């Protein structure tokens, strides 16, 4: 089970870091992937763009290979059982631990005029999302580790007080899929918040992709064989390894070692290979996004699958808690 926030566009870092992992999981596990629209209300109370954002995030993930026939792909707000479980878990979550959460402190600093209770209990809602399906494996990045640890604490408190209902959820990744995608400006990895020109989005058009790649920092090249690569050059090679053919990468590696590399040519090649990689995803995402009927269908299908699993869990929860006296 994992949740995807409906804010921002997917970039290459999300693709190789997260989405590719989901796509691999769908063939081996019973998967629940959810658009976290309720979570977005903790920081974005204005819902004018929510529908568009939800549609976009669904379209992009499907275009990347997530298959709504194989997984339950749904919206958080469509599953009312989440709210019920969230309420029960809130009684097992302590103010002190919630206030200590790193993401809460960060967001409180960023939005000092909107430190609402939903923001404080964000990790409780996330725990409810996960354990609603009694999920064990949660494909997430490092930034979510604290939330998962809190989910395990809530699970243990629940199980201890009311009886074993939930397994402990743990972070899951296919080892070699945790690829770090470097940014194009040689500083850190691709991310939403950094310099826009340093990040390639799956929605970028061909010209923008070329422009961004050609802007990547290079120098006049090595003059001695076996010169260690500067970070920003190594990053261009790393990006090339993600999207270009092996023999292409090997050619430029040879050119580097022989001190005859022409970075202009290398970037042109990388730009074309990026275009080839991104264009079909962008085009498919666009066509899905424009098909509201299809989006409605997949949301309904996803919600039906999620609801089935949610209802079964809520039955167990009410029984365990002794709330079944009617
Ligand atoms: N908090 C997650 C993020 O910021 C999104 C999320 C919501 C999530 N519910 C989840 C992730 C459940 C994993 C499981 O990316």
Q: What's 31's domain CATH number?
A: 3.40.50.620
Is 192 a catalytic site residue? yes
**In the chain, what percentage of residues exceed pLDDT 90?**
90
Averaged pLDDT for residues 304-313: 98
Do 279 and 296 fall into the same domain?
no
Could you tell me which residues come within 8 angstroms of residue 66 by beta carbon, excluding any fewer than 6 positions away? 19, 22, 23, 26, 33, 73
- Mutation to probe ligand 1, out of 33, 144, 154, 169 (largest number of atoms < 8 A from CB): 144
Nearest alpha carbon, ligand 1 atom 11:
3
Distance CA 50, CA 44 (A): 9
- Closest ligand 1 atom number to CA of residue 129: 12
Q: Which domain holds residue 209?
A: 204-285
Do 160 and 243 fall into the same domain?
no
Tell me, yes or no, whether 270 lies in a domain. yes
Do 275 and 167 fall into the same domain?
no
More confident residue, 190 or 244: 244
pTM over 0.75: yes
Do 165 and 313 fall into the same domain?
yes
Tell me, yes or no, whether 141 lies in a domain. yes
Tell me, yes or no, whether 165 lies in a domain. yes
Q: Report the 10 Å Cβ neighbour count for 143.
A: 9
Tell me, yes or no, whether 191 lies in a domain. no
Is 311 a catalytic site residue? no
Tell me, yes or no, whether 199 lies in a domain. no
Tell me, yes or no, whether 14 lies in a domain. yes
Q: How far is the CA of 323 from the centre of ligand 1 (A)?
A: 28
- Give the active site residue among 70, 192, 217, 251: 192
Domain count, the chain: 2
Nearest alpha carbon, ligand 1 atom 6:
3
- Closest ligand 1 atom number to CA of residue 141: 15
Q: pLDDT grade, residue 325 (50/70/90)?
A: confident
Give the model's pLDDT for residue 194: 62
């Amino acid at each position: 089970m994992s949740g995807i926030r409906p804010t921002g566009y997917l970039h290459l870092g999300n693709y190789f870091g997260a989405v590719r992992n989901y796509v691999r999981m769908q063939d081996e596990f019973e998967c629940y992937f959810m658009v976290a629209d309720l979570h977005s209300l903790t920081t974005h109370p204005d819902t004018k763009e929510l529908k568009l954002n939800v549609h976009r995030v669904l379209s992009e993930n499907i275009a990347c290979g997530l298959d709504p026939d194989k997984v339950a792909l749904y919206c958080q707000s469509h599953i009312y059982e989440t709210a019920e479980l969230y309420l029960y878990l809130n009684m097992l979550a302590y103010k002190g631990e919630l206030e200590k959460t790193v993401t809460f402190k960060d967001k409180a600093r960023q939005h000092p005029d909107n430190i609402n209770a939903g923001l404080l209990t964000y990790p409780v809602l996330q725990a409810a999302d996960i354990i609603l399906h009694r999920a064990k494996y949660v494909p997430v990045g490092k930034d979510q580790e604290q939330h998962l640890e809190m989910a395990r604490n809530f699970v243990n408190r629940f199980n201890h007080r009311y009886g074993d209902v939930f397994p402990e959820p743990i972070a899951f990744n296919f080892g070699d899929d945790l690829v770090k995608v470097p940014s194009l400006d040689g500083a850190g990895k691709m991310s939403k918040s950094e310099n826009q020109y340093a990040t390639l989005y799956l929605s970028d058009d061909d010209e923008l992709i070329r422009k961004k790649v050609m802007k990547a920092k290079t120098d006049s090249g090595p003059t001695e064989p076996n010169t260690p690569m500067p970070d920003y050059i190594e990053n261009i090679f790393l990006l090339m390894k993600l999207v270009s053919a092996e023999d292409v990468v090997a050619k430029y590696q040879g050119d580097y070692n022989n001190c005859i590399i022409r970075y202009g040519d290398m970037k042109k090649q990388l730009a074309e290979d990026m275009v080839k990689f991104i264009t079909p995803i962008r085009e498919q995402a666009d066509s899905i996004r424009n098909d509201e009927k299809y989006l409605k269908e997949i949301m309904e299908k996803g919600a039906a699958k999620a609801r089935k699993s949610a209802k079964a869990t809520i039955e167990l929860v009410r029984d365990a808690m002794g709330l079944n006296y009617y």
